[in-house]
Amino acid sequence: MDKVRPGIGQTAFAKGSPLPPDGLAADAQRFGDLPAGALSAGDIEALDRLAEMMRHRRVALLTGAGLSTDSGIPDYRGPDSAPRQPLTYQEFVGDPLLRQRYWARNHIGWAHMHRAEPNVGHFAAAALERAGHLTGIVTQNVDRLHEDAGASNVVDLHGRFDQVVCMNCQTTYSRSFLATILAELNPGFLEAVNGAPIGPDADADIADELLIASFKIAKCPLCGGMLKPDFVFFGENVPKERVERSFAMVEAAELLLVAGSSLTVMSGLRFVKRAAKDLKHVVIINRGETRGDPLANAKLETGVGESLSYLAGALGLDWHNR
């Protein structure tokens, strides 16, 4: 890529127990592209020690919504996030009015989210993977930005926002194809809600209840069945195959690095629990408390994208290009 969107530093965290004392000395601006003050001297010292560990240990990387906020995608639990009550799987399939509301909001959220671009953290993670430092990337995000940045060995644990699936015949369609259908069914809708606040997971806030009530949802073009985004809703189980692939990545690693996840839901926390049980190092980079903190060997409260790009630079990698 010729141009990398700089991070805006919305994701970060607090120090816990230190990393092992061996490490490298560092200068905050050594690798460039990090704004002055983006990383403190203490952050850099801890990241240098982590980079030295990564020279000799393979790493499984678990990423959460905090990594993608620098790409303009809001998260549920970040320090600047407003409280939200996400729609559950049971509500989506069981309540036609809630399903209509969901698709009206998602139609707006998709128009914003599909334009998001990878940030420095995504490019750095892809560089770490290409260089063989990672056993793989497990992401709780549905935005596909890891793949857009060039990573290939990625488990989209909670699915992907760029596809929809028919719950009757299981046919999969691209979300862009559905957007075309919804635009035809609801002419002028996007223009009427221009400027609506965007939420996590391609959601949006719409104040006009009459507009929501007028929204027409699409059915499966093949069988007329119910369409659902191809990602895991709250209250829905993660497919077994994804869980098994993720555990295999953790088991093949000697260190688990968590970047930008509060680990609130068990779908991510279980990998931290497994790593700790197997006496692997666990390092967490996240702003604010996480459920994995008591199990971590080290906790950094600093920018996620800045940290990953610094680690890639410390390991001699060019993360600017795929």
What's the length of the chain? Answer: 322
Which of 146, 158, 281, 320 does the annotation list as catalytic? 158
Helices (H), the chain: 41-54, 65-68, 89-94, 96-113, 120-130, 145-148, 175-185, 189-192, 209-213, 240-251, 266-277, 304-314
Kindly state the tokens that stand for 314.
Answer: 């410390």
Q: Are 67 and 12 a contacting pair, CB within 8 Å?
A: no
Annotated binding-site members: 166, 169, 220, 223
| CA neighbours closer than 13 Å in the CB half-sphere of residue 64 | 26
Distance CA 151, CA 269 (A): 23
| CA neighbours closer than 13 Å in the CB half-sphere of residue 190 | 14
Query: DSSP class of residue 81?
Result: P
Q: Are 190 and 131 a contacting pair, CB within 8 Å?
A: no
CA-based diameter of the chain, in Å?
Answer: 63
Distance CA 202, CA 143 (A): 9
What is the Cα gyration radius of the chain?
A: 20
Annotated binding-site members for Zn(2+): 166, 169, 220, 223
Q: Are strands 159-166 and 172-174 parallel, antiparallel or unpaired?
A: antiparallel
Q: Is residue 158 flagged as an active site residue?
A: yes
Catalytic residue IDs: 158
